Structure formats: C-alpha cells, structure tokens
C-alpha cells in the first residue's frame, strides 16, 4: 500500500511517499526559512504564496524518487489543518486535485495526528502511549489511544514551547528559527549562572506555561550590558533551555502518573514536534521515562520537525481503517486532537 502525503500548514512545503511496511520511499522538504528570515518570523501571506509556487514541483520530485506514477498510489493525503489557512488550502486543493484526477481516495490529515503517529512509522509501537508534542504552535501531553483517539492530559496556557525558544533567541540576538540556535549556544553556556523560574513546577495537573519564563529572560537581558557578550548570551541560552527541560520534565512526570493509573498497559513515552529535536530535552525526558519504567522513543530529527512523511503515514493509518474524506472537506485553521478537552486559558492559546 502506497500513500502520497502533502504538508503545507506552516513554513515547510513537503511531499512524501510512504509504504505500509513503514518504508519511506521519498521524503522531500523545502524550507521557506530564507523567505521569512528578514521578518524574524513566519509571514502567513508569504508562506501561502511560496507553497503555491513550489508544491507541484515537490510532489513531482517525491513521485520521481519513489519511482511511481499517480496510478501506482493507493491514496492521497494532505494536511487539512490546523495551521496557517492559506497554506493549508494550497495543500488540500493539490491533494484533492491529484486524488480526483487519478481516481484515488483522499485523506485530510490533522497535522498534529501526523506528529502523534510518527513514532509508529519509525518504530513498531503499540497503542496506548504517552506523547509530548512540542512544536512552534503547540505544547501538549496526550494519551494516544488509537488512530483518531486522543485524550489531552495537559497543554500550554500561554506560549508554545517552540515559540518561547524563538522569542528568547530574538531577545539574545540570535536568528530565526530560535530552537536550533539556542541549543547550539546553550552547549557553550553555564546553565547555573542565572536563576530562572521553572513555570508550573509542582503545580497540580499537567499544563504548561512559558510566558513567565520568557519575561524573566527579557528582564535578565535588560539588566545586562548591551550588546550581550558571547558568554552572557550562551549562559542565558543554557539557563533558559535547562528551565524549559526541567519544567517539561515535571509536567511529563505527572502525566506518566495519570497515564499509568488510567491506561496501565502504556509502556512508552514518545516525543514529537520540532522542539523534540532538542537534545537536552530528549536527555531529560529519557531520564523521566527511565524513572517511571517506560521506554523512551524519539523519531529522528528530520521526522520531528515538519515533514510530509508523517502526513503520508497518518493518512495510511487512517486509510487502513477506512477513514477517508470526501472532496468537499473544508480546511480547518483550528483542529484539536481531543475535541472534548476543556479550552485552555490564557493568551495566545492555539488548541
Ligand atoms: O514542528 P515544527 O517543525 O513546526 C510546527 O509545527 O510548529 O516546530 C518548529 C519549532 C520552532 O519553534 C523551532 O524553534 C523549534 O521547533 N525547534 C527547536 C529545535 N529545533 C526546532 N527547539 C528547541 N531545540 C531545537 N533543537
Ligand atoms: Zn508541526
């Protein structure tokens, strides 16, 4: 079984072909980083235009690398949301057009479900498992019970984890996107030099918060001589990254407790999303898994950040269960994985 996946919900245009034996036949990603860099963040209109300009070529390249034509596909999957709506529309229209022309079923995939199921593409992983999904738009702890079946155990009440990395990078004078830069500078810094808060640590529940930490970094930066010295920048990055990892570890430990009480057959702690590429966070979470008797699973870095292999795979999982979509599917800017979860409080909440 072969499925084409298309991803256009943020600032990566991507296409991939995946087979049901978990082989990735093709996986092409075009980052729009350079288009957005002058603005220090993603500009939705620029993103939509760039997707439109490149998506056909990327799909053709993925098909060429997979060595098949559209007739050889079993289904076509595209990200149907959540995300920047202009970009999502481009991917959905492209997917529908190919499905219609080739006479194949169409699947609208929730981008978050793509991240959530990635570890089942890379590993022989059974349900249920505990997932930390930490990206530029989200920070959630989810009980993954099956395809299309999620319980949100915790979410951010303000910024997403990746957003905090990006903003701290900006304050310290590093480029966009911030996560990889903060990680690189943190490696040279002293995490113990500045005392930064551990948001939500010890609080009941499994929710996250990053805006207080972000403000603490802002005040710290303002208190230091400018421009920041290399040592100061590195120490801030190290301190911030340690605070994020510490706070996420605390929330995750609580979620493991909840998960083990409610779904005792859970054996795995899984990470997904761009922030899951952070090696300090991975090491910390590996520790949490070890303490709590779970096995830690992290997809390779290229499958943590946005890609289309995860969309093709989630589409394939849905297709196997007969969960196809009709060609009148409407793109969704908001699309929570657990529709029954209470709305999170706070400013800037994405889901
Ligand atoms: O999942 P993703 O590629 O796109 C979204 O769906 O948001 O995540 C992008 C986010 C950005 O905020 C980026 O700064 C962050 O993931 N990120 C990292 C690292 N690599 C990417 N954050 C921390 N450490 C990293 N190594
Ligand atoms: Zn993503």
For every residue of 240-290, DSSP letters joined together read HHHHHHHHHHHHHHHHHHHHHHH-TT--EEEEESGGGG-HHHHHHHHHHHH
Mutate to test the pocket of ligand 1, among 81, 83, 131, 135 (most ligand atoms within 8 A of CB): 135
Give the Cα separation of 27 and 121 in Å (integer): 13
Q: Is residue 160 part of a domain?
A: yes
Residue 306 Cβ contacting ligand 1 at under 6 Å: yes
Residue 334 lies in a domain: no
Total number of domains constituting the chain: 2
Crossing angle of helices 230-262 and 279-292, rounded to 10°? 30
pLDDT classification of 315: cutoffs 50, 70, 90: very high
160 with 74, same domain: the answer is no
Ligand (nearest to CA of 311): 2
- pLDDT tens string 70-103: 999 999 999 999 999 999 999 999 999 999 999 9
Query: Is residue 222 domain-shared with residue 255, that is, in the same domain?
Result: yes
Answer yes or no: is pLDDT of 4 > 90: yes
Mean pLDDT along residues 140-166: 96
Ligand 1 lined by 159 (C-beta under 6 Å)? no
Where residue 40 sits, what CATH number does that domain have? 3.30.420.40
Kindly give, in sequence order, each residue whose CB lies less than 8 Å from that of residue 110, ignoring residues fewer than 6 positions away: 79, 80, 81, 82, 314, 335, 337
Q: Using the predicted structure, report yes or no on whether residue 348 has a pLDDT greater than 50.
A: no
The reported pTM is 0.93
- Tell whether ligand 1 has an atom less than 6 A from the beta carbon of residue 277: yes
Separation of CA 136 and ligand 1 centre (Å)? 5
- Domain residues for the domain of 59 are 2-117+305-320
Instruction: Tell me whether residue 345 is in a domain.
Output: no
Residue 18 belongs to a domain:
yes
Sheet holding 24-31, edge to edge: 24-31, 12-19, 2-7, 75-81, 106-110
Q: Does 349 score more than 70 pLDDT?
A: no
User: How far apart (Å, rounded) are the C-alpha atoms in residues 234 and 173?
Assistant: 11
Ligand nearest to the CA of 138: 1
Cα distance between residue 51 and residue 214, in whole Å:
31
pLDDT tens digits for 170-217? 999 998 779 999 999 999 999 999 999 999 999 999 999 999 999 999
């Amino acid at each position: 079984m072969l499925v084409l996946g298309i991803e256009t919900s943020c600032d990566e245009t991507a296409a991939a072909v995946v087979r049901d034996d978990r082989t990735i036949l093709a996986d092409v990603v075009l980052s729009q980083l350079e288009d957005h860099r002058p603005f220090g963040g993603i500009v939705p209109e620029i993103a939509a235009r760039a997707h439109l300009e490149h998506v056909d070529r990327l799909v053709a390249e993925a098909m060429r690398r997979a060595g098949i034509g559209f007739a050889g596909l079993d289904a076509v999957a595209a990200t149907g949301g959540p995300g920047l709506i202009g970009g999502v529309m481009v991917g959905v229209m492209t997917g529908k057009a190919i499905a219609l022309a080739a006479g194949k079923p169409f699947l609208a995939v929730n981008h978050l479900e793509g991240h959530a199921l990635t570890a089942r593409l890379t590993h022989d992983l059974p349900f249920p498992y505990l997932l930390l999904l930490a990206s530029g738009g989200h920070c959630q702890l989810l009980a993954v019970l099956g395809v299309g079946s999620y319980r949100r155990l915790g979410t951010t009440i303000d910024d997403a984890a990746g957003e905090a990395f990006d903003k701290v990078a900006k304050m310290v004078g590093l480029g966009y996107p911030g996560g990889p830069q903060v990680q690189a500078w943190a490696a040279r810094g002293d995490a113990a030099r500045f005392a930064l808060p551990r948001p939500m640590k010890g609080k009941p529940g499994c929710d996250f918060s990053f805006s207080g930490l972000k403000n603490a970094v802002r005040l710290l930066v303002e208190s230091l001589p400018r421009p920041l010295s290399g040592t100061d920048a590195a120490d801030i990055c190290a301190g911030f990254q340690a605070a994020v990892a510490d706070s996420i570890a605390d929330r995750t430990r609580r979620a493991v407790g909840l998960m083990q009480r409610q779904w005792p057959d859970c054996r795995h702690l899984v990470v997904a999303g761009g922030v899951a590429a952070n090696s300090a966070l991975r090491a910390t979470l590996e520790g949490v898994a070890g303490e709590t008797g779970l096995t830690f699973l992290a997809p390779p870095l290229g499958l943590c950040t946005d890609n289309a292999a995860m969309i093709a795979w989630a589409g394939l999982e849905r297709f196997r269960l007969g969960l196809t979509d009709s060609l009148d599917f409407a793109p969704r800017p908001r699309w929570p994985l657990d529709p029954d979860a209470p709305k999170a409080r706070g400013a800037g909440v994405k889901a």
